């Protein structure tokens, strides 16, 4: 499995237009072979002092793919090329991080996320959470 964290820098003042266009391709992308998760995110309003704010002209796209090959196929998909061409004037730049999950020595691989009641919330069953309780359920 690979995770992608893509930070998209937008032309000033175009975030809502970008998100409107982005939402149109989400169903096609989620239907692609190997797509586990795909969606945009923006700053959460919190009082967490160490939070790094993206600002009004950035969007983070969070993706999970079954394999690097599935990610490469996504990047080459005709609908993604058409989307990129149509929206190129909205995008000032991109930073793409492709990472893989790791586990602590001796523990199982990172837990898989599964939908709960077809909502946007996910639940992960873990054998050992960061909080040290065995067999806990963690809502993410």
Residue count of the chain, please give it.
Answer: 140
CATH code for the domain in which residue 24 is found: 3.30.70.100
Q: Does residue 67 lie in a domain region? A: yes
Name residue, tokens 């004037």: 89
On whether both 126 and 88 belong to a single domain, the answer is no
Q: Does residue 52 lie in a domain region? A: yes
Q: Write the pLDDT tens digit of every residue in 89-129.
A: 999 999 999 999 998 765 555 555 544 333 333 333 333 33
Q: Round to whole Å and give the CA distance between 78 and 96.
A: 20
Predicted structure pTM score:
0.71
On whether both 117 and 140 belong to a single domain, the answer is yes
Q: Round to whole Å and give the CA distance between 60 and 51.
A: 14
On whether both 129 and 71 belong to a single domain, the answer is no
On whether both 18 and 82 belong to a single domain, the answer is yes
On whether both 12 and 76 belong to a single domain, the answer is yes
Q: Write the pLDDT tens digit of every residue in 5-14.
A: 999 999 999 9
Residue 138, domain extent: 111-140
């Amino acid at each position: 499995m690979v995770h992608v964290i893509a930070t998209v820098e937008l032309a000033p003042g175009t975030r809502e237009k970008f998100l409107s266009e982005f939402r149109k391709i989400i169903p096609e992308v989620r239907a692609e072979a190997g797509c586990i998760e795909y969606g945009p995110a923006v700053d959460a309003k919190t009082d967490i002092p160490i939070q790094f704010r993206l600002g009004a002209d950035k969007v983070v796209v969070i993706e999970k793919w079954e394999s690097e090959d599935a990610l490469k196929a996504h990047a080459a998909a005709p609908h993604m090329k058409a989307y990129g061409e149509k929206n190129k004037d909205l995008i000032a730049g991109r930073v793409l991080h492709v990472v893989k999950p790791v586990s602590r020595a001796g523990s199982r691989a990172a837990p898989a996320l599964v939908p709960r009641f077809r909502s946007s919330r996910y639940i992960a069953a873990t054998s050992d959470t960061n909080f040290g309780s065995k067999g806990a359920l963690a809502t993410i």
